[in-house]
Amino acid sequence: MSTIKKFEKPLGMRDTFPETYEKIETARQIGRNFLRSRGFDFIETPTLEYYDTVGKASAIFDARLFKLVDSQGNTLVLRPDMTSPIARVATSKLLKEKIPLRLAYSANVFRAQQKEGGRPAEFGQMGIEIIGDKSVFADAEVIITAINLIQEFGIESFTITIGHAGVLEGILKDYTENTDQYETLRKLLVERNYVGFEEAVKSFDLPQVKSDALLQFINKATHLTTIKDIEQYVRKNDALEDMIQLSKLIEQAGLSEYISFDFTLSSHMNYYTGMLFEVYAAGSGFVLGNGGRYDGLLQLFDSDVGATGFSLRTDRLLEVLPNKEEQEDSTVCIIFEGHEFSKALELATTFRNNGERVTLQSKDGLLNEEAFTKLFGRVVYVNQEEGQ
C-alpha cells in the first residue's frame, strides 16, 4: 500500500462542496415538505448499530458493511440502510404508540466499495416506511407517494417497474422440480441474466410443458403493461389477487402511465415478501430508487405486522433533477476599515433585514482584495471618505 497523502479520504468517501450541498439541501427540503404533507413523520436513527441486530438484518452483503468494534468488544456497523434501523425502532417502541406508522427519513448510509475508488461509499437516501399495515392500500400508497414525490422534484421522464416476490416464487416453484433448480433460477433473475436463465432451464431436463412455460415466461414477463398478461402463467392465488388489486388502485389514482410490470423482477434481499419495485429516470444510468413490501424483515425483529416502503438515492436524484436556471443568489460583501466596525455592523443588519446574504470582511484581513471582491455580486465599502 502506498502512503496516504494529506488530502486523501478513505475509499469511497467524498466532500460535499457548497454548490452541491445547496442542491442536496434543496432536494431534501422539497422531499421533507412533500412527505410531511402526506402525513409521514421524519425520524433519525444512530449512525452506528450492532452488527448482530441491524447489520445481520440488513439486506446489504456482509462484505460491504463497515465494521468496527466498541470498547466492550461488540461488533458495530455503520448503518448500511435505513429500513432495518427503522424496523428495529418501530418494533421495539413506536408501534406501541401508533399503528400503522408512517415514517420518513433522509439520511446517509454506508456501503464499502472495493471497485473503482470513485464510487461513493456514503450516500444519501430519502424514503418512507408504512409499518403495521398489511393491506394492499398501503402498497398502493407507497407507489403513489413515490410517483408524486418524483413529480414534485420536477422530474418528468421516469418509470416504475413493479414485480411481486410471491407471484415469482409461485411460478418458479410450479415449473421446477426441486429447490436447487428454483434457487438457481432465482439467482439468475437477481443478476438479470436472462441468457443464463434460458440455458439453465434447458439444462434441467424438465418435462416439455414446464420448460416451455418457463421460457415463454422469461420472454414475456419482463415488460407487461397490464396485469392481465401474466394470468396465463400463474394459478389464481392471493399474491396475484394482490397485484390485480394494486394495479387497479394505481389506475384509480390516474398514474398508470408511470408503471409497468415485470414479474421476473427479483431482489437479493430475501425479506421482500410481496410487491417490489424499482424506479428509473432518464439522465442517470443507475437505478434511482427501489421499494417493496418486506414483512419478512419485521419477523427478524419478532414482529408479525406488515411493512412496506421505498427509498430514493439523493446522489442519483441530483443527476436527474431538471437543471433550474442558476439563480445566482447574490451575496453582498461589506468591506470595512477597522475603526468603522460598528457602522459596518449596522449596514449589514439593514441589508440582512432586506433578505440579502451579507459577508462582512475587514480590509485588514484581506490578502488580495481584488480577487476576493470578484466573488461577490455587489461590494460596499465602509470608510470615512464615503461617510456612510
Residues in contact with another protein by CB under 8 A are 157, 159, 161, 191-196, 198-199, 223, 260, 278, 280-282, 284-287
**Nearest approach, Cβ of residue 246 and another protein (Å):** 19
Q: Under 8 Å CB-to-CB from 153, ≥6 apart: which residues?
A: 27, 30, 31, 317, 321
**Nearest approach, Cβ of residue 161 and another protein (Å):** 6
Whether residue 344 contacts residue 352, with contact meaning beta carbons closer than 8 Å, is answered with no
| Residue nearer to another protein on the CB measure, 260 or 299 | 260
Give me 122's grid cell: 456514503
**Nearest approach, Cβ of residue 358 and another protein (Å):** 42
**Nearest approach, Cβ of residue 160 and another protein (Å):** 9
Locate cell 418528468: which residue?
Answer: 156
The DSSP letter of residue 5 is P
| Residue nearer to another protein on the CB measure, 51 or 194 | 194
| Residue nearer to another protein on the CB measure, 44 or 156 | 156
Beta bridge partners of 333: 359, 379
| Beta-strand pair 259-261/158-164 | parallel
Locate cell 436447487: which residue?
Answer: 180
**Nearest approach, Cβ of residue 375 and another protein (Å):** 34
Nearest CA-CA partner of 256 in 167, 159, 166, 168: 159
| Residue nearer to another protein on the CB measure, 44 or 62 | 62
d(CA 362, CA 153): 40
d(CA 361, CA 151): 42
Counting Cβ atoms within 10 Å, is residue 365 exposed (0-12), middle (13-18) or buried (19+)? exposed
d(CA 374, CA 359): 13
CA 363 to chain centre: 46
**Nearest approach, Cβ of residue 192 and another protein (Å):** 4
| Residue nearer to another protein on the CB measure, 273 or 290 | 290
Nearest CA-CA partner of 30 in 158, 150, 138, 110: 150
Measured CA to CA in angstroms, residue 285 lies from 171, 261, 320 at distances of 30, 20, 10
Give the neighbor-by-neighbor strand order of the sheet with 75-78.
48-50, 75-78, 67-69
| Residue nearer to another protein on the CB measure, 218 or 333 | 218
**Nearest approach, Cβ of residue 373 and another protein (Å):** 41
| Residue nearer to another protein on the CB measure, 161 or 303 | 161
| Residue nearer to another protein on the CB measure, 198 or 356 | 198
CA 249 to chain centre: 24
Terminal CA-CA length for the chain: 61
d(CA 82, CA 289): 13
**Nearest approach, Cβ of residue 94 and another protein (Å):** 34
**Nearest approach, Cβ of residue 282 and another protein (Å):** 5
| Residue nearer to another protein on the CB measure, 52 or 191 | 191
